[in-house]
Structure 1
Amino acid sequence: MSDYNGAEKTLAQGPPFVDQSEVNEAAYDDSGDNLADYKIDPAETRKLLRNLDFHIAPVVMILYLIAFLDRANIGNAAVGGMTKDLHFPANGLSLATSIFYVTYVLFETPATVLLRTLRPSRLIPIVIVVWGATVLGNGFAKSYGTVIACRLLLGMCEAALSPCLFLYMTTFYQRCELGLRMCYLFIASAISGVVGGLIATGFLKMNGLHGIAGWRWLFIIEGALTIGVGFIVAFFIPDKYEDARYLDERQMFLMKVREAQEAAYSQDTGFSWIEIRKALTDPVVYLSGFIQMCFDVCLYGFATFLVVIIKELGFSAVSSQAITAPVYFVAAVVYLFGALVSDRYSIRYWLIMPLGIFTTAGYVILISVSHGVGARLAGCFLAGMGIYIAVGLHITWLGQNIAGYRKRSTSVGLQQTFGNIGGIIAGQIYRSNNAPRYLLGHSASLAFWIVGLLCLTLEWYIWRSRNARREAMTQEEKDTMDQQGVTGDHHYSFRYLL
């Protein structure tokens, strides 16, 4: 069985590099051992990755962008007058925000487990079209109850996107390459904050056009665009690399080599209750889910209520939309550089923790400063600097450390199921009657953040301890493990990334 040390090891031990024209691919058949011995020229790897990134990154970023736009635009609509026009009850916005995550949580794990069975090229476009229609319908809502129904349906549809996109990327990239690629998703979510605020500013200025309120135009136009994206994207999502028409014959061969070199990590034996049980009985999966929940409380509270928080500092509805843009931009830039460092030096924990200090400081400022618009805006900037990268890298970390496609799909689904309970909590701690300082929301977010960082330390210790135990195993213990048929990330040759 191959040794898995991520970015710390070369791809494989094999013949020396040779010129592409001299390569005899016929000498390497489809047997995993033989292909795994082939050593890829780094220049070819870079060319292959550029091709993959060119075709995959724009698709996943656009999808994640519209997902976050359609999820968080309720905050923009609220600032634009929706709560008043539809006679929202007290804390009705908080309930409408939280209710989205009820169906989101319920459907995430089934969606990820069944992604390959239902085929990404079918499942993803269908749910996009349905949720686009839901968003568009929200623009014609006549009552608060209609908004709640739309949020429930939207949560069910989006549950089949976010974790599925990450799982989808694991079938194209090696695990040491996933940090930057996961960054694409969360940069898209941060960009959604930039774009969302600017778009909302324009739509609010359309207030009264054809007798339609500006917040309704927000839902109608964004919903129509989402439907269009759903139809278009169906032509750009291959189910697996073998179906990717943008890969030439040489690159298809290299993808087979890469798959063979990470056979234990990417192995898919089809739908298997045994693999699902492995995920359900691994305690670190539940710890990871709890940490994700703590981080997501901050992420969803920040993404949904930032515009409301800024408005309460004394800015107009239009100005508050525009001011959110630089906050999200800084968060996106920090994540991009952090992801590059993470992949380059193969670090996760020691990157999340230092940036977590900035977020902690941001919340402390928001809690402790009662006056001074500049200081509280600085608190928003600091809070965003650590939130996005912590959430994104932590999802990546679990995905990199779970071997076997079906176990990984279940594990990621479970992590996100627990994690997105944070969205329900976030909607309840930021209450309208706590304006303008939102002390409950900021204090609860800070508490969840600190607990999440402490538990992250425990997770890092568990991964490190498992590696240490395997390093200390005797040959007899290894032979026994082989006789028992142990595979995947529990095999002695597998090393967890730290």
Structure 2
Amino acid sequence: MSAEKAALAAADASIDPPSPAPSTKAKPSDADPLDPSELVEYEIPAAETRALLRTLDWHIAPVCMVLYLIAFLDRANIGNAAVGGMVKDLHFPPNGLSVATSIFFVTYVVFEIPATMLLRTLRPSRMIPACVIIWGAVVLGNGFAKNYATVIACRLLLGICEAGLFPSLVLYMTSFYQREELALRTCYLFVASCVSGIVGGLIATGFLKMHGLRGLAGWQWLYTIEGALTILIGIGSAFVIADTHESAGYLTERQHFLMRVRAAKSAAYTRDDGFVWADFKRHARDPMIYLSGFVLLCMDVCMYGFSTFLVVIINGLGFTPIVSQALTAPVYFWGAAVYLVGAVISDRYSVRYKIIVPCGLVTAVGYAILVSYPRSVGVRLFATFLCAHLYICVGLHVTWLGQNMAGYRKRSFAIGTQLTMGNIGGIIAGQIYRTPDKPVYRLGHGASLAFWVTALIFATLEWYIWRKRNIARDNMTPEERAADENEGDHAADFRYVL
């Protein structure tokens, strides 16, 4: 089926039976949509597009940001708890913190693809809140752990519950936004992860000062209060998540029509033909999915190592636990600011690679400084600010694959596979930052630098392959274009974002 026929079929399936069509330049009645062919051709006024995006951003972005913020907070607070005395109180074995950090990603990786593939079937408004509520209970229970084995069990359960959140949120946003609008929206999630570092450090600072209150240690207050807060957020999210734009009560009738127009225009990208085993096998043979997953694996070694162990690294510079928690806030704030500016530029000019590489080189310089371990504490602290540029690289790379995979089912498989491979990096990160290596952590910083440079090299290969495919399609003759029967991102009229 050609891309044009697929677009018309998708449009026909998503609107009411056609009625007499007004001119495409006229504003159609909200209750009287255009017929399928005119729906594809209808041009939405720029002012209405901006208003629609503001409505979507106001109702989708805050929910996704809060959910990912609390998820990152709950998985990374083990570093704060360790500095706050949990390792000593529960008699962690040597390198026990590294094992507890890594074990989370074992179940996280295993359950990520199934959770993503089931999102539409189980419905986002049910599946996402249920996962949040359950992992909140797990976090709360971790606050009453009496031994190291209980902590390990909680980390395994937390990995299962959080497994589907991030890929589900990314996939969820592709159902509402156009591919050229996704970089900034995915940016919101990674900004949330940076904010979690800011909030996590400040919250941990306060909780550590509650040590001894009602007989609980500061790290216990950290887990119990954050767990209770997560449960409340999970319950609240069930009332604000719409499964699709058709069920979004916050859209006006006119905006529902505009969403159908947008869906028709991007039908090749957004269409969902249901689960077909033959299609699934064909999707699974696309090598770009696995190349992207390998790049993300290398990047995630650095991101998870940085986010989990930053407070431990700063503490190793000679600061007290309280000051170390507080000093993580400006580092994460810088990472969030860089990401926000970069994402705006990325969406405006529709570029990914040209932002990933410069920011990636800055990150590499930061790790090189940490590996060299200069005597100056100020220089080492400055290096952590340079490393914080990694967030925009990871976020844009995740967005990059999502934009270049057409068709809902292929995109769900691609995102799930990419993130599953990427999160193996979390297992590695927990093993390279070893407690006996403090305060230098030369193994952790050196391995992170090596993985990061490898990621930049293979990201360049990604860019080269997608660019080569675009050039080949641009050079197709009219006869070749007419004879092309490929669909989705392999169709002659599909162009990859670079």
Length-normalised TM-score, structure 1: 0.95
- Of the candidates 307, 314, 320, which is equivalent to residue 316 of structure 1? 320
Matched, 1:419 2:422: yes
Moved more, 275-284 or 459-468: 275-284
Equivalent residue, structure 2, for 1:397: 400
Residue 407 and residue 51 in structure 1: after superposition, are their counterparts in 2 closer, same or farther (change >3 A)? same
Equivalent residue, structure 2, for 1:190: 194
Matched, 1:134 2:138: yes
Q: How far apart are 1:273 and its partner, in Å?
A: 2.1
Distance in 1 separating the partners of 2:114 and 2:174? 18
Distance in 2 separating the partners of 1:94 and 1:134? 20
Equivalent residue, structure 1, for 2:493: 493
Does structure 1 conserve the Cα–Cα contact (< 8 Å) formed by 2:31 and 2:253?
no
Matched, 1:168 2:167: no
Distance in 2 separating the partners of 1:492 and 1:238? 34
- Of the candidates 467, 470, 475, which is equivalent to residue 470 of structure 2? 467
- Of the candidates 215, 223, 229, which is equivalent to residue 227 of structure 2? 223
Write out per-residue CA displacement over residues 119-158 of structure 1, whole angstroms, 9 at most, x where no aligned residue: 1011000000110000000000011011001000100111
Equivalent residue, structure 2, for 1:78: 82
- The DSSP-based 3-state class of the residue aligned with 1:473 is coil
Task: Give the aligned length.
Answer: 481
Partner amino acid for 1:465? Answer: K
Does structure 2 conserve the Cα–Cα contact (< 8 Å) formed by 1:15 and 1:37?
no
Equivalent residue, structure 1, for 2:17: none
Does structure 1 conserve the Cα–Cα contact (< 8 Å) formed by 2:182 and 2:399?
yes
Does structure 2 conserve the Cα–Cα contact (< 8 Å) formed by 1:292 and 1:391?
yes
Partner amino acid for 1:487? Answer: E
Distance in 2 separating the partners of 1:127 and 1:479? 47
- Of the candidates 477, 480, 492, which is equivalent to residue 477 of structure 1? 480
- The DSSP-based 3-state class of the residue aligned with 1:420 is helix
Matched, 1:297 2:297: no
Write out per-residue CA displacement over residues 433-481 of structure 1, whole angstroms, 9 at most, x where no aligned residue: 0100100000000000000000000000010011111112223333332
- The DSSP-based 3-state class of the residue aligned with 2:388 is helix
Residue 15 and residue 462 in structure 1: after superposition, are their counterparts in 2 closer, same or farther (change >3 A)? farther
- Of the candidates 419, 430, 434, which is equivalent to residue 431 of structure 1? 434
Equivalent residue, structure 2, for 1:153: 157
Does structure 1 conserve the Cα–Cα contact (< 8 Å) formed by 2:25 and 2:42?
no
Equivalent residue, structure 2, for 1:441: 444
Partner amino acid for 2:72? Answer: F
- Of the candidates 18, 25, 34, which is equivalent to residue 28 of structure 1? 34
Distance in 1 separating the partners of 2:338 and 2:108? 28
Q: How does 1:174-323 map to 2 (within 5 A)?
A: 174-323=178-327
Residue 472 and residue 142 in structure 1: after superposition, are their counterparts in 2 closer, same or farther (change >3 A)? same
Distance in 1 separating the partners of 2:272 and 2:359? 36
Q: How does 1:355-374 map to 2 (within 5 A)?
A: 355-374=359-378
Q: How far apart are 1:2 and its partner, in Å?
A: 4.9
Does structure 2 conserve the Cα–Cα contact (< 8 Å) formed by 1:2 and 1:493?
no
Equivalent residue, structure 1, for 2:461: 458
Partner amino acid for 1:462? Answer: I
Does structure 2 conserve the Cα–Cα contact (< 8 Å) formed by 1:70 and 1:222?
yes
Partner amino acid for 1:118? Answer: L
Q: How far apart are 1:25 and its partner, in Å?
A: 6.5
Q: How far apart are 1:492 and its partner, in Å?
A: 0.6
Partner amino acid for 2:488? Answer: G
Does structure 1 conserve the Cα–Cα contact (< 8 Å) formed by 2:367 and 2:446?
yes
Distance in 1 separating the partners of 2:177 and 2:281? 25
- The DSSP-based 3-state class of the residue aligned with 2:135 is helix
Partner amino acid for 2:181? Answer: E
Matched, 1:45 2:49: yes
Q: How far apart are 1:16 and its partner, in Å?
A: 6.4
Q: How far apart are 1:15 and its partner, in Å?
A: 6.2
Residue 187 and residue 28 in structure 1: after superposition, are their counterparts in 2 closer, same or farther (change >3 A)? same
- The DSSP-based 3-state class of the residue aligned with 2:32 is helix
Distance in 2 separating the partners of 1:27 and 1:323? 55
Partner amino acid for 1:219? Answer: Y
Residue 297 and residue 25 in structure 1: after superposition, are their counterparts in 2 closer, same or farther (change >3 A)? same
- The DSSP-based 3-state class of the residue aligned with 1:270 is coil
Does structure 1 conserve the Cα–Cα contact (< 8 Å) formed by 2:373 and 2:440?
no
Does structure 1 conserve the Cα–Cα contact (< 8 Å) formed by 2:24 and 2:38?
no
Distance in 1 separating the partners of 2:440 and 2:165? 34
- The DSSP-based 3-state class of the residue aligned with 2:351 is coil
Distance in 2 separating the partners of 1:258 and 1:455? 33
Distance in 2 separating the partners of 1:73 and 1:276? 38
Moved more, 473-482 or 350-359: 473-482
Distance in 1 separating the partners of 2:455 and 2:404? 19
Q: How far apart are 1:270 and its partner, in Å?
A: 1.5
Distance in 2 separating the partners of 1:48 and 1:293? 35
Write out per-residue CA displacement over residues 2-32 of structure 1, whole angstroms, 9 at most, x where no aligned residue: 599xxxxxxxxx96654x4x76873613x3x
Distance in 2 separating the partners of 1:127 and 1:487? 35
Equivalent residue, structure 2, for 1:9: none
Does structure 2 conserve the Cα–Cα contact (< 8 Å) formed by 1:2 and 1:261?
no
Write out per-residue CA displacement over residues 345-398 of structure 1, whole angstroms, 9 at most, x where no aligned residue: 11100001011111011011111134111000000000112x100110000000
Does structure 2 conserve the Cα–Cα contact (< 8 Å) formed by 1:135 and 1:222?
yes
Partner amino acid for 2:57? Answer: D
**Runs of at least 5 residues in structure 1 that lack an aligned partner in the other structure:** 5-13
Does structure 2 conserve the Cα–Cα contact (< 8 Å) formed by 1:70 and 1:135?
yes
Does structure 2 conserve the Cα–Cα contact (< 8 Å) formed by 1:98 and 1:424?
yes
Equivalent residue, structure 2, for 1:60: 64
Partner amino acid for 1:28? Answer: L
Identity in percent: 63
Distance in 2 separating the partners of 1:273 and 1:52? 33
Partner amino acid for 1:403? Answer: A
Q: How far apart are 1:160 and its partner, in Å?
A: 1.3
Distance in 1 separating the partners of 2:230 and 2:86? 21
Distance in 1 separating the partners of 2:124 and 2:402? 18
Distance in 2 separating the partners of 1:429 and 1:15? 63
Distance in 1 separating the partners of 2:119 and 2:450? 35
- The DSSP-based 3-state class of the residue aligned with 1:410 is helix
